[in-house]
Amino acid sequence: MNDTLISHGTPADKARIVAYEMARNSLEGTYTHGINRFARLVRSVDSGTIVPSAEPELVASCGAMSRYEGHMGFGIINAIFAMDRAIDLASEHGIGLVSLAHSNHWLRAATYGYRALERGCAAICFTNTTNNMPAWGATDSRLGNNPFVMAFPRKNGQHMIVDSAMSQFSYGALEVARLAGKQMSVAAGFDKNGNITTDPSAVLETRRPLSAGYWKGAAMSFMIDIFSSCLSGGFPVADIAEQKEESALSQVFIAIDYRKIVGEDEADRIAERAIEYLKGSTKAEGTKEIVYPGERMMRVREENLREGIPVDERVWSEILSL
Amino acid sequence: MNDTLISHGTPADKARIVAYEMARNSLEGTYTHGINRFARLVRSVDSGTIVPSAEPELVASCGAMSRYEGHMGFGIINAIFAMDRAIDLASEHGIGLVSLAHSNHWLRAATYGYRALERGCAAICFTNTTNNMPAWGATDSRLGNNPFVMAFPRKNGQHMIVDSAMSQFSYGALEVARLAGKQMSVAAGFDKNGNITTDPSAVLETRRPLSAGYWKGAAMSFMIDIFSSCLSGGFPVADIAEQKEESALSQVFIAIDYRKIVGEDEADRIAERAIEYLKGSTKAEGTKEIVYPGERMMRVREENLREGIPVDERVWSEILSL
């Protein structure tokens, strides 16, 4: 992947980071935003949507906040840069916020949460997307699913992190279920009669996927779009929807060096208490285990480190042909 | 309300603020956390759960972050103080974070968002609660519904704000529907056979309300609890659950003075674009209007300013008897 990126015009330092992070996304179980997405990323470089040599540029800065222009560079490169800057600001001020305009898809949202966790900071970050989800009460998609991350570190490295899009299911998940002839586990969207359904085919036909929590996820999505675009001076979903492909996204990265106001041991003890309490829940029939956010990922990572990263043969052939 | 608070031992300066904010909550349509809740608040003062003269005390501070001990004071007093401090920090550093331990119920979460909006800042704030919602796959309640707020101002005062608990419906809403013999509009929880249901009686029986977005709201709830308790050194839901009544809550207040990195007019233009796009959605059958988060509250406020705040006679009689 590194070599392919270089042969398509990516500077070596950037190619290494993008290849590493996409491999890591698959290693940690986010296959859809890992190796599976690599061929599409290279096509975006070829089409000019991604400018492979672009560097983020400082637009404005004040105290613990900085605003950057992404110049349509790699989403991963820009977002890592932005979270690293937010962490630097947090080292100085306790908390740091960096906003980023006109960047590309950052792939796995959790990547930037882990970036902060691995430097001992908590993080909140989010991005807007193209229009892929209807407003509450609407039939056409004018909201993004706008992934949102909250991450808090633990001393033992078993970090807590939620990486959640504002739709109940992604289009990718709906398509996988449709091909397998399966129903979704819970309500997934609206059918052509305007009824809520678990049938992926019906939702793919209407293009009316359900926002997570109905009106709640729709409202959160809108506010994430407002924060992302207004804090960066970048595009809201309304403008991203007019691009040829999903690009020119707006993002916000907040890092919190909590150790400046709470002892690391003190916070760790509180987290252990919360985890122990949660995991001691009475399990419903059919539940094997109650997990905290981020726990499952650690297991997939360990399994894939031990047994190798599963990669679809067709995906790999396509990458080799690039 | 002001006089009643004073006669129950509240210092005059604090009584004025608590009475004002509770009246305002009803004025702006959040009746459950307004005048309807006043008698219960006074009982909490009488029982000693709320310490009416308590003042928040600085525990630690670094740059743009401060941590306070709430000393079991009025939730409204402590939370207003904390958001005001966060706004002060944002005025200096661009962004400010204040955490608060051992406070009481802050009543309407949106109150603290509006506090920032009225001083021209954006805000994110959240609180934990007592255990009132099961983890995903669990039957007993070991999560809070943990309200979360994101707020961004507009120059015309028609601010954008989401104030969302992590449960799909509150117990209050389920009880109102049960008394009226109505079904909930969407899935509300589990019945005794472990099936998802819209029947409020069934959910009130099992005490298994649904988290908003199923596993998504459950995961967000847990992370809000971790941030609230770990950043403040306060209680997680696990410890709040052991209190006699819901108290000793942990809260976080983040204010963002975005004008330091983005022009006020520039942000306002982006917000107008986003609102116009959203409201231009194609309406589903039965939808009268697509609203942005915060829009409906402004209308209720205007209506109630014009016609008076509706107050239940029994609620008012009880207050007069205190």
What contacts 24+ positions apart, CB below 8 Å, involve A183-190? A186/B187, A186/B196, A186/B214, A187/B186, A187/B187, A190/A139, A190/B284
In this prediction the ipTM stands at: 0.98
Angle between helices B38-47 and B12-27 (to 10 degrees): 150
**DSSP reduced 3-state for A67:** strand
Q: Cα(A156)–Cα(A28) distance, rounded to whole angstroms? A: 18
Please report the pLDDT score of residue A34 as a whole number: 95
> What are residue A95's phi and psi, to 5 degrees?
-135, 145
Angle (CA) A6 A7 A12, round 5°: 15
C-alpha span between A225 and A236 (Å, rounded): 6
**Which residues in chain B have their CB less than 8 angstroms from residue A138's CB?**
281-284, 287, 290
- Spans in chain B with pLDDT lower than 70: none
Q: Give A51-106 pLDDT, tens digit per residue.
A: 999 999 999 999 999 999 999 999 999 999 999 999 999 999 999 999 999 999 99
Q: How far is B22 from chain A (nearest CA, A)?
A: 24
Q: Which residues pair with B168 in a beta bridge?
A: none
Q: Which of A143, A186, A271 sits opposite B226 (nearest CB)?
A: A271
The per-residue pLDDT for range A271-302, each reduced to its tens digit, is: 999 999 999 999 999 999 999 999 999 999 99
Q: Which residue of B has its CA nearest to A187?
A: B187
Of the partner residues A190, A220, A276, the one whose CB lies closest to the CB of residue B162 = A220
* Closest residue on chain A to B168 (Cα): A213
pTM score over 0.95: yes
Q: Which neighbouring-strand residues pair with A58?
A: A68
Over residues A183-202, the mean pLDDT reads 96
Residue B231's pLDDT is what?
A: 98
- Nearest CA distance, A262 vs chain B (angstrom): 6
Q: What residues of B are in contact with residue A160 (Cβ under 8 Å)? A: 222-223, 226
Mutate to test the interface with A, among B164, B223, B252, B264 (most CBs of A within 10 A): B223
Of B67, B194, B196, the CB nearest to A285: B194
How far is it, in rounded angstroms, from Cα A70 to Cα A68? Answer: 6
List the single residue in A60, A164, A222 with the smallest CB-CB distance to B261: A60
| Cβ-Cβ contacts under 8 Å, A209 against chain B | none
pLDDT for A19 equals: 98
Nearest-by-Cβ selection for A282 from B61, B139, B274:
B139
pLDDT of residue B185: 95
CA separation for the pair A235, A249 (Å, rounded): 6
Q: Which of A57, A128, A136, A162 to mutate to probe the B interface, most B CBs <10 Å?
A: A162
CA distance A247 to A72: 8
Shortest distance between the Cα of A230 and any Cα of chain B, in A, equals 5
> DSSP letters of B229-279?
HHHHT---HHHHTTSSSS-SEEEEEEEE-GGGTS-HHHHHHHHHHHHHHHH
Partners of residue B277 in chain A, C-beta under 8 Å: 142, 236-238, 241
Mutate to test the interface with A, among B95, B183, B268 (most CBs of A within 10 A): B95
Q: Tokens 């939620």 correspond to what residue? A: A162
- Model pLDDT, residue A26: 96
Q: How far is A292 from chain B (nearest CA, A)?
A: 7
Looking at residue A256, its pLDDT comes to 98
pLDDT at B248: 98
Alpha carbon A68 to its chain centroid, in Å, reads 19
**pLDDT at res. A54:** 98
Q: Which residue of A has its CA nearest to B193?
A: A285
Q: What is the least distance, in Å, from the CA of A170 to any CA of chain B?
A: 13
**Closest-CA residue to B69 (of B103, B38, B36):** B103
Q: Do the Cβ atoms of B226 and A186 come within 8 Å? A: no
Query: Inter-chain contact B63–A93, Cβ cutoff 8 Å?
Result: yes
pLDDT of the residue at A120: 97
Q: Which of B63, B212, B289 sits opposite A64 (nearest CB)?
A: B63
pLDDT at residue A168, as a whole number? 98
- Token pair recorded at residue B133: 């919602």
Q: Which residues of chain A are within 8 Å of residue B155 when distances are taken between CB atoms? A: none
Q: What pLDDT is recorded for position A46?
A: 97
**Chain B residues with CB-CB distance to A225 below 8 A:** 274
Find chain A residues with C-beta within 8 A of B289's C-beta.
137
Nearest CA in chain B to A220: B162
Question: Rounded to whole angstroms, how far apart are CA atoms A168 and A214?
Answer: 9
> Of A249, A278, A290, which to mutate for an interface test with B (greatest number of B Cβ within 10 Å)?
A278
Test A142 with B281 for CB contact under 8 angstroms.
yes
Residue A33 a catalytic site member: yes
- Region for A68 from its dihedrals, namely left if φ exceeds 0, alpha if ψ lies in -120 to 50, beta otherwise: beta
- Nearest CB to A62 within list B162, B237, B261: B261
Cβ separation of A281 and B92 shorter than 8 Å?
no
| Separation between Cα atoms, residue A161 and residue A146, nearest integer Å | 16
Q: Which of B33, B102, B105, B159 is catalytic?
A: B33
Cβ contacts below 8 Å, chain A against chain B, sum to: 304
Cβ neighbours of B110 in A, within 8 Å: none
Helix (H, G, I), strand (E, B), or coil: what is residue A314? helix
Put simply, the answer to whether B160 touches A217 (Cβ < 8 Å) is no
